[in-house]
Amino acid sequence: MSSGKHRSQRPSPRVSDPYRRTSLACKRCRGRKTKCSGEIPRCRTCVAGNHECIYLEHERKISVPEYYLHDLESPGNPPANSPVTASVPSVPASSSIDEENEADAFDENPLTDGMTHLVITPSGQRHYLGNSSSTSFGLRLRSFFETFRRIDQDLSIEVQYPTYNPAAWPKRRPSVADVPKLPPRDFAKRLYNAQYTYIGTIFSFVEPRVFDERLEKAYNQTPDLYDREACLEYCQVLVILAYGQLYSVNQWDGHDGPPGFDYFMQALQFLPEIHDEGSVLFVEVLSLVGYFMQNLNRRDAAFLYIGLALRMAISLGLHQEIIDPDMDEATREHRRRLWWSVYSMDRILCAKSGNPITILDEDIGVLPPSRLPHESEICPATVLLHYTELSRILGKIMKGIYRKSPKTGSSLVTSVYNIMTDLNNWRRDLPRALQFDASRLDRDISRESVSTFLHYYQCINMTARPLLFRVVQRRLANLATDKEKDWRSGLSTTTIAVIEACVAAARDSTTMMHAAAKQNLVATYGFMDGEHIFSAAIVLVMANLAFPFNDRDHAAMDKALGVLQGMAEKGNGHMRARHELLIKLRAMMGGAVPAEVVVAAATTTTTTTPPPPLGGLPVEAGGEVLQPFDIDAALPGMQYTGDVNLWEEGYGDWGAAVDFDWTSWTEAAQGTAGR
């Protein structure tokens, strides 16, 4: 049978079915290297972002005789006994290999075709089965036989049989000292709304309707400690209440921990053992527990819990599209949103702890989050879609900049340029409803926009700050003579563009956090808000410490320190320590700041009583509006022109640069400037 017949009998992917793997991808998805659903006329990603969707026509392959190729290559063939022909080893010509492959129709791995396989445990839970699994291979073989012969015998291997008696497995031991006292229903719903404002509008860990059902169940009955799912539901309710208290309280004098700490400690009593069977609910709870650990500054515990959530999600097949006729679209979409929520959380916590990313983008086959028919155009799925894209770029930053591997100046410039280009494209494609309206910044902002843009500026910050630190370090070594010299002198346009991007992102982050603080939209005890304002503040302190005095950067630095001070005064001990460190670093500026500026700053600091919601410095009359740094305008300057050693020193020999707390950076700057 000819190869053409082989191909004609192959079932082609249905581009109208978003759950089938397809090689068809639109131009935009190909350019962004993201998975495309292949739907006609517009794929899911383009529909979600309201973009034009263009499919490029594939080139067709045709078979031609080998002699025809030779005739095209040269007018004649060399004689058979020529030295060239005699010295060539007996290896099949590439065209012959191509013809053989065409005849064999082995142009792709048949074991990767189709959808993901799941196995079903005795309790009914579905678990992921990868293509390299022998069980998966057996399932494919069985399916192959079923296509042309009816099999009467039971050849099912989809049920994952344990090698032990489930009844012999140790049961969960009752260890709850006291049954938690839940708050009144109305207050509990207020706490849910508080956490939803900060994380629920982005991450999909529990839906409002589902939480209401589980909350009502918690009021009506105490969970059976031997029932894993009941304990997970009760645990989730308590963790949500903990988040609600964390985000709704601006001042706290508790000695045991921040707001919500008591609810969280009670929730841990109901958390099942990790060797218990996984479930979607278990993934939700582990993710929530992990992120709350990060808010407690339990960095390692947070990294472990989020890692467990991600691995459990993989074991359940959340990272792939699956075939399940019993699963409705809402359930399927929740699985997608949950996956991308855990994915983003894992990327962020890996970066903050300086650990490698857990899963590569190439190993993910699930579709991006998308709106359900009843949802509005701008909904949590839309925010999650764009937030996820930033997390994907964060993975590129970890791989291209912070991975310990030999780097050359030119390769570093290429990595930075590509990352900045991705960030510029992200900003350009962001829906208008999620953009910041500069004219309304001080009157009407949404918390999801604040969180998303802080994530965006942090990506710029992480990309550029190793180079900034190296330049600052060099200038601090000669502070007495270099302080008032133009810091751009002797640097390439590439280096200047990257450093300006870093400082501008810090200014924009500060302006945004200050505006959010005025509207009481900054989490006093929240980990992410503290990290973002500290990262911005330290960049501004370093720039003011090493570069000539600049009114704009000095004002932004004071504003960032004001927000940090407000969080510290409200009882955030971690931010208090960071604020004190930066104040000491700022004191090193000494006489570099004009006297009138020092007096004005001192007057401003002492006249902010009573302070705004978070103690931040007030906006001057007339109001300052956000003027975001334009990456697009800076990209032409990011072409490699020099500074080889500087780039290789800044990026190539940097062990702890990925750590968001910048401890090593501040110690190095403090030690250098102190000499």
Lowest-confidence segment of 163-177, 409-423, 487-501, 535-549 by average pLDDT: 163-177
Output the CA–CA distances (angstroms, integers) from residue 45 to 190, 292, 388, 488, 614, in the order listed. Answer: 34, 31, 12, 42, 38
Structure tokens at 364: 């993910």
* Percent of residues, the chain, with pLDDT higher than 90: 31
For residue range 90-105, list pLDDT tens digits in order. Answer: 434 444 445 444 444 4
Query: What pLDDT is stored for residue 270 in this prediction?
Result: 92
For residue range 258-295, list pLDDT tens digits in order. Answer: 899 999 999 999 998 888 889 999 999 999 999 999 99
More confident residue, 523 or 147: 523
DSSP codes of every residue in 590-607: GGGS-HHHHHHHHHHHHT
Chain centroid, CA 511 distance in Å? 23
Residue 113 has pLDDT above 70, yes or no: no
More confident residue, 374 or 70: 374
CB 291 within 8 A of CB 306: yes
- Residues 158-174 have a mean pLDDT of 57
Q: Comparing C-alpha atoms, which of 334, 419, 319 is closest to residue 372?
A: 334
Query: What pLDDT is stored for residue 20 in this prediction?
Result: 43
* Percent of residues, the chain, with pLDDT higher than 70: 62
State which amino acid sits at residue 395: G
Three-state SS string across 268-296, please?
A: HCCCCCCCCCCCHHHHHHHHHHHHHHHHC
Where residue 122 falls among pLDDT bands split at 50, 70, 90? low
What is the rounded distance in angstroms from the CA atom of residue 279 to the CA atom of residue 230?
12
Helix (H, G, I), strand (E, B) or coil at 149: coil
Residue 495 has pLDDT above 70, yes or no: yes
Task: Give me the phi and psi of 420, to 5 degrees please.
Answer: -65, -35
Query: What pLDDT is stored for residue 403 in this prediction?
Result: 80
What is the rounded distance in angstroms from the CA atom of residue 643 to the CA atom of residue 613?
45
Residue 508 has pLDDT above 60, yes or no: yes
Query: What pLDDT is stored for residue 212 in this prediction?
Result: 94
- Residues 472-479 have a mean pLDDT of 79
State which amino acid sits at residue 214: R
| Terminal-residue alpha carbon distance, the chain | 82
Query: What pLDDT is stored for residue 170 in this prediction?
Result: 60
Query: What pLDDT is stored for residue 464 in this prediction?
Result: 87
The model's pTM is 0.73
Query: What pLDDT is stored for residue 101 in this prediction?
Result: 44
Residue 374 has pLDDT above 90, yes or no: no
CB 617 within 8 A of CB 514: yes
Query: What pLDDT is stored for residue 417 in this prediction?
Result: 86
Query: What pLDDT is stored for residue 163 in this prediction?
Result: 54
Query: What pLDDT is stored for residue 422 in this prediction?
Result: 93
Residue 580 has pLDDT above 70, yes or no: yes
Structure tokens at 374: 């009843």
- Residues 117-135 have a mean pLDDT of 59
- Residues 110-123 have a mean pLDDT of 58
Query: What pLDDT is stored for residue 586 in this prediction?
Result: 82
What is the rounded distance in angstroms from the CA atom of residue 111 to the CA atom of residue 131?
6
DSSP codes of every residue in 76-96: SPPPTTSHHHHHS-S---HHH
Task: Give me the phi and psi of 159, to 5 degrees please.
Answer: -85, 125
Where residue 166 falls among pLDDT bands split at 50, 70, 90? low
- Residues 451-462 have a mean pLDDT of 93
- All residues at 6 or more sequence positions from 659 whose CB lies less than 8 Å from its CB, including other chains: 352, 353, 354
Query: What pLDDT is stored for residue 610 in this prediction?
Result: 30
Residue 84 has pLDDT above 90, yes or no: no
Query: What pLDDT is stored for residue 47 in this prediction?
Result: 77
* Average model confidence (pLDDT) across the chain: 74
Task: Give me the phi and psi of 120, to 5 degrees please.
Answer: -115, 125
- Residues 17-35 have a mean pLDDT of 64
- Walk me through the domains of the chain, giving residue ranges and CATH numbers: 12-77 (4.10.240.10), 409-673 (no CATH)
Query: What pLDDT is stored for residue 150 in this prediction?
Result: 56
Range picked from 211-225, 458-472, 607-621 for highest mean pLDDT: 211-225
Query: What pLDDT is stored for residue 490 in this prediction?
Result: 83
What is the rounded distance in angstroms from the CA atom of residue 638 to the CA atom of residue 655?
24
Q: What angle do CA 554, 559, 560 make, to 5 degrees?
A: 100
More confident residue, 117 or 547: 547
Instruction: Give me the helices (H) in 180-227, please.
Output: 185-195, 208-220
Output the CA–CA distances (angstroms, integers) from residue 404 to 415, 459, 594, in the order listed. Answer: 14, 19, 42
Lowest-confidence segment of 14-18, 420-424, 522-526, 532-536 by average pLDDT: 14-18
Lowest-confidence segment of 48-52, 257-261, 304-308 by average pLDDT: 48-52
Residue 626 has pLDDT above 70, yes or no: no
What is the rounded distance in angstroms from the CA atom of residue 407 to the CA atom of residue 400?
9
